[in-house]
A and B are shown apart, each in its own frame.
Chain A
Amino acid sequence: MDVIIIVLLVLIGLSTFFSLLGVFGLMRFPDVYTRLHATTKCTTFGSLFMVIAVMVYGVVRYLEVESYNQGSFIVLTVHAFLAFVAILLTNPSGAHAIARAARRTGIEPEQAVIDEFEEVK
């Protein structure tokens, strides 16, 4: 086994672990707000490891292939990073919009120990 295969297996394993954890939190938690906690954080972190794995793959393949074909692997690495930046910028505000809409429709948080929300006029 190559060292790089082991590194990629660890990265993909972490990605799978966090993404599936987020999805199982989506199935398991009792109400909308806690489900949002699970999905936004864990799927963002899972795709971070997927992006790191693809970047490692791009760098390794860049060193392997002939020079006339190397440009596409630079594009692969850089654009994977840009896709992650897009996820990172859009995910929290999407979650914020969903939580706000849920509160406006009048869904109460379940098992809440404290609720200081009043309707903002």
Chain B
Amino acid sequence: MLTFLTIFLGCLAIYLLLVAGSGPGATFLTQLFSYEELIAAVLLALLTAVVTRVVIGKAVNDNMLKNPLRLGMFVFYTFTVWLYYLAKANLDVAYRVITGRIRPGIVRIKPGLKTELGRTILANSITLTPGTLTVDLDDKKDELVIHWINVGEYKDEKEKLNGVCGPFADWARRIAE
């Protein structure tokens, strides 16, 4: 039931974003949506949710789809924490392009995430953050292979994990597990 609700709300939001500004009125609120588009949005989202509920519920065995709040948390994470780190990463790369001071290397880390969705979120997050790029993913040993443009100092595995992904492992765990 919660899977159904999550798919319904997601499809509704995407459809409404795509048809925003279709209204005939003269003020902002009436310009936003016309009644026809609102009815079509609800009908299409219901249809999509009814058809794909069983398939997606079976294929994606994760907790994320069972709770609409997690979807909201994902959007919040993308537009606050992640954008901040994206800006930081760009200043870092700008410094390295201008000075040419690089110290690259390939390391393996073990984030300890259980679900595939969590690993996907983590891998895509650290690709756009300071100086790291996911090269390969080892599902059996639960390890990520990462190209690090400026290999820092680390003594043990925990410091290495902290240096590579910062707060992202915690966020991925919070969203997907």
Partner-B contacts on A (CB < 8 A): 18, 21-22, 24-25, 28-29, 31, 33-34, 36-38, 40-42, 44-45, 48, 67-68, 70-75, 78-79, 82, 88, 91-93, 95-96, 99-100, 103, 109-117, 120
List 8 A-B residue pairs with CB atoms under 8 Å apart, sorted by A's residue number. Answer: A21-B98, A37-B93, A71-B31, A74-B32, A82-B17, A96-B134, A99-B147, A114-B107
What count of chain B residues pass the 8 Å CB interface test?
43
What residues on A are CB-neighbors of B22 within 8 Å? Answer: 71, 75
Query: Once bound together, how far apart are the Cα atoms of A113 and B20, in whole Å?
Result: 52
What residues on B are CB-neighbors of A116 within 8 Å? Answer: 106-108, 145
What residues on B are CB-neighbors of A73 within 8 Å? Answer: 21
What residues on B are CB-neighbors of A72 within 8 Å? Answer: 21
Main secondary structure of the interface of B (DSSP, over half): mixed
State how many angstroms separate the Cβ of A31 from the closest Cβ of chain B. 8
1/0 contact string of B121-149 vs chain A (CB within 8 Å)? 00111011001011110100000010101
Known: A40-B128, A74-B21. A21 touches B97 (CB 8 A): yes
The verdict on B94 contacting chain A, using a C-beta distance below 8 Å, is: yes
Q: Which residue of A lies closest to B20 (CB)?
A: A78
Q: Is the CB of A82 within 8 A of B18?
A: yes
State how many angstroms separate the Cβ of B1 from the closest Cβ of chain A. 27
Q: Is the CB of B97 within 8 A of A112?
A: no
Q: Is the CB of A36 within 8 A of B136?
A: no
9 additional contacts, CB 8 Å, given A34-B149, A100-B135?
Answer: A31-B104, A41-B86, A67-B26, A92-B134, A96-B133, A99-B135, A113-B104, A116-B106, A120-B138
How many contacts between A and B, using CB within 8 angstroms? 139
What residues on B are CB-neighbors of A40 within 8 Å? Answer: 127-128, 133
Q: Is the CB of B104 within 8 A of A112?
A: yes
The verdict on B87 contacting chain A, using a C-beta distance below 8 Å, is: yes
1/0 contact string of B78-89 vs chain A (CB within 8 Å)? 100000001101
Query: Once bound together, how far apart are the Cα atoms of A31 and B93, in whole Å?
Result: 15
Q: Which residue of B lies closest to A72 (CB)?
A: B21
What residues on B are CB-neighbors of A109 within 8 Å? Answer: 104-106, 147
Q: Is the CB of B21 within 8 A of A33?
A: no
Known: A34-B149, A41-B93, A115-B105. A28 touches B20 (CB 8 A): no
